[in-house]
Amino acid sequence: MTPEQEEQGREDLEAEAIVLTLAALLIVDRAAVRGYMTTEEREQVEDKLRRARDIGWAFVRDNSVDEGLGNEVFNSRDSVIYAVAAAGWMYQYSQELARDAAIDLQGAEAEAAARNVLNSRRPNRAETYAIDSVHPAVEAGKAAIVKRLIVDKAVTKTWRTVGDSKVRPTHKAADGQKVLLGGFFTVGGYSMSYPRDYSAPAKETARCRCMAVYSVNWSK
């Protein structure tokens, strides 16, 4: 798969994940307006977010040159951990938005204001969570496969952006940066093993759509 094909494939993954995150946000936002989330609702949200994360892992598995290795790196535990954490982030942020919108209002007016602001923010938030669910799984899966599949060969990885206006300046500056497989990219002053490496702060990882492109020198 070429980098261009991977980029297009990941855009398609985002579209799938957005549908799931929108469904999760509808549940979360209703609960935020009401003031509490039931156990059943929480489980429904977590299930949708887990499935969104699994889309990224499945992409790596299904495009692996080694089917067995692709199955091996598929990380269902990561998807569960992400789903539980993301459900909490979603609900907390929905509560904050609803509370801010309803300041100085009461009763039906407060509920209407909260619903309006949550409805207006939902598409953008769904895109954010879709990107944050899919891309880290893809990058982590790629890194795991390359490390296990390629031994005793010189491997490099290159940072690549998608090249549009949404790319943050620090990532644009890192575009084309090449390091050895075990090395680290320097992005915005932080060391990162691959795009979306959570050892870096959120300002360098949130909504990141960059990718690592791996190259093998088979003569070494």
Domain shared by 154 and 76, yes or no? no
Domain shared by 92 and 58, yes or no? yes
Q: Supply the range of the domain harboring residue 182.
A: 150-217
Cβ-Cβ contacts under 8 Å for 72 (sequence gap 6 or more): 148
Identify the band that residue 98 occupies on the pLDDT scale cut at 50, 70 and 90: very high
Domain shared by 45 and 110, yes or no? yes
Task: Answer yes or no: is pLDDT of 48 > 60.
Answer: yes
Domain shared by 133 and 187, yes or no? no
pTM of the model: 0.87
Other Cβ atoms less than 10 A from the Cβ of 31: the count is 20
Identify the band that residue 122 occupies on the pLDDT scale cut at 50, 70 and 90: very high
Residue after which a domain boundary falls, among 94, 115, 138: 138
Task: Answer yes or no: is pLDDT of 15 > 90.
Answer: yes
Identify the band that residue 155 occupies on the pLDDT scale cut at 50, 70 and 90: confident
Domain shared by 201 and 115, yes or no? no
Residue after which a domain boundary falls, among 115, 138, 161: 138
Domain shared by 8 and 33, yes or no? yes
Identify the band that residue 1 occupies on the pLDDT scale cut at 50, 70 and 90: confident
Q: Report the distance separating Cα 64 and Cα 73, nearest Å.
A: 10
Number of domains comprising the chain: 2
Residue after which a domain boundary falls, among 113, 138, 163: 138
Domain shared by 156 and 50, yes or no? no
Domain assignment present for residue 83? The answer is yes
Q: Report the run of H or E that residue 117 belongs to, with start and end.
A: helix 107-149
Share of the chain above pLDDT 90, in %: 68
Q: Report the distance separating Cα 80 and Cα 191, nearest Å.
A: 27
What integer pLDDT is reported at residue 69 of this predicted model? 81
Domain shared by 35 and 97, yes or no? yes
